[in-house]
Chain A
Amino acid sequence: MAITSIKNLKEFSTVNERFEGAHLLCPGCAHSMIVRELMNATDDNLVISSATGCLEVCTAVYPYTSWDTSWIHIGFENAASAVSGAEAMYKARKRKGTLKDPDAPVKFVAFGGDGATYDIGFQWLSGAVERGHDFTYICLDNENYANTGGQRSSATPVGAHTTTAQAGRVSYGKKQKKKDMVAIMAAHGAPYVAQLAPNKWKIMAKGFQKALETEGPCFINTVSACTTEWKFDPKDTIHITDLATDTLMFPIYEIIDGHELNILYRPKNIIPVEEYLAAQGRYKHLFKPENKHVIERIQKEIDEKWEYLQRREESRV
């Protein structure tokens, strides 16, 4: 069984792509960068299910499909259930000896946006992880329901303007904290849980390979910068993601077996969060004098989280 070499980018680039162009995602969308990276990180056969969301809607516009692998879309909530059903059937048929090629390696992957993961598909994902199916769930976290016009989700961070948590005279956008999905999935006792970002392609490809190789349910939360709803220029997708990881808005780390936490990327210079907020249109109201306390709150929460992660890493509990 062959796993693609990711020693350096030149070797990585020799893989044969299995995700085709001319899908209808926005120019500069990070979703397709993440999907390409996952599909290029392995040579194995893939069985993919997608929850409803930008990715599903844009890659399977009738009569076209952008996937050169087995791919299914069913509902908003049940990407995890669909892929666990496929995995259970694969195991059963392997046991009965009715598979055409029983030795061919097959990996099961589910994609969901943050709406499908944090909110609508949460119970289904929790169930699939609890049952212990051998699959990898990848959350493409763009922090809102981008497909339907940018409504707030429970992944939307404090202070962000969305169409259902608007910033204006009386409000500064979303007031509630973002749900810590990585910690929730780690608490399920999943063997591999991680938070990754597409700008660090090597860490990301390694994380994907690790998740695919690990037997049992794996969860990966990926940062997917959304040019349309975060309101920045399409060409800046990687720049914004760089800012997200260097301000520690999105720390990159993994949790193995629910307790062993490793920080995978430590920025050399930690940038103040203002720079990340100023680069995006959805935060522009925070720079009014009356909203200064929100930026202070965001910075304080980031510092606390980073301190917590570092202590968790040291203590190995």
Chain B
Amino acid sequence: MKGVLPTDRRGVRELGAEDLVGWDEVTHGVVLNSFDGIVEDVAQVAPEERPYSDFNSYTATVASWRVIKPVYNRDICIDCQNCWVWCPDTSIISRDKQMLGIDYDHCKGCGVCVEVCPTNPKSLLMFAEAQEPEDALAKWPEKKKKEKK
């Protein structure tokens, strides 16, 4: 890349002769680094220990998308990890085969985790975004008995 290029009144860059490149030169597109510095083998580093850069969407949030949110009930959970495998937003925090909770910065409130939860009653349920988790846990439904046919 060659120096800072002149811009017009609106801040749009004008193409000049110095912008033209030869057939054997390369102009870079936009490069966003996921991490500050070098991470040797990302697959071996736990998310908590990674040096995320400001460009990584991990540092962003989509919490404002939600109207309803999933609430997690540790007492009923059997750690089957169904919610983990099907969460589209990497929002189920699961470490050492244990489900730890929900990452509310990245959850969009789609409700897939509640649908795939196999326990009775479900250990994840959707509540209004404004509901306090303690109130939600107090309202948890009782175990449903199987209806005899």
Contact = CB atoms under 8 A, between A and B. Distances in A.
For the residues of B in contact with A, the DSSP-based class is loop
A12 B85 contact: yes
B112 A235 contact: yes
Contacts of B96: 14
B42 A68 contact: yes
Nearest to B35: A68
Contacts, number: 144
Interface in A31-47: 31-33, 36-37, 42-45
Contacts of B94: 13
Interface string B111-131: 110111000000000000000
A29 B88 contact: yes
Interface in A159-205: 198, 201
A46 to B, nearest CB: 9
A21 B55 contact: no
B79 A10 contact: yes
Interface in B11-35: 30, 32, 34-35
A125 interface: no
B81 interface: yes
18 contacts: A9-B80, A16-B43, A16-B45, A16-B46, A21-B90, A21-B107, A23-B89, A27-B108, A31-B88, A42-B43, A43-B44, A44-B43, A61-B57, A62-B32, A65-B32, A68-B50, A68-B56, A235-B111
Contacts of A209: none
Interface residues of A, number: 52
A33 B47 contact: no
A306 to B, nearest CB: 26
A16 B43 CA distance: 6
A19 B85 contact: no
Given A10-B81, A12-B85, A238-B116, A59 B110 contact: no
Given A13-B85, A33-B86, 14 more contacts: A9-B84, A16-B43, A21-B89, A21-B90, A27-B110, A28-B110, A42-B43, A63-B55, A201-B86, A233-B111, A235-B111, A237-B86, A237-B88, A238-B86
A198 B88 CA distance: 11
The 5 closest A-B pairs by CB, nearest first: A21-B106, A235-B111, A27-B110, A28-B110, A27-B108
A22 B43 contact: no
Contacts of A31: 88
A101 to B, nearest CB: 9
Interface extent on B, as a size class?
Answer: 35 or more
Contacts of B47: 16-17
A49 to B, nearest CB: 13
A291 interface: no
Given A29-B88, A33-B86, A234 B60 contact: no
B76 interface: no
A201 B82 CA distance: 10
B54 interface: yes
B103 interface: yes
Interface string A260-301: 000000000000000000000000000000000000000000
B73 interface: no
Q: Which of A16, A29, A60 has the most C-beta atoms of chain B within 10 angstroms of its own C-beta?
A: A16
A9 B94 CA distance: 11
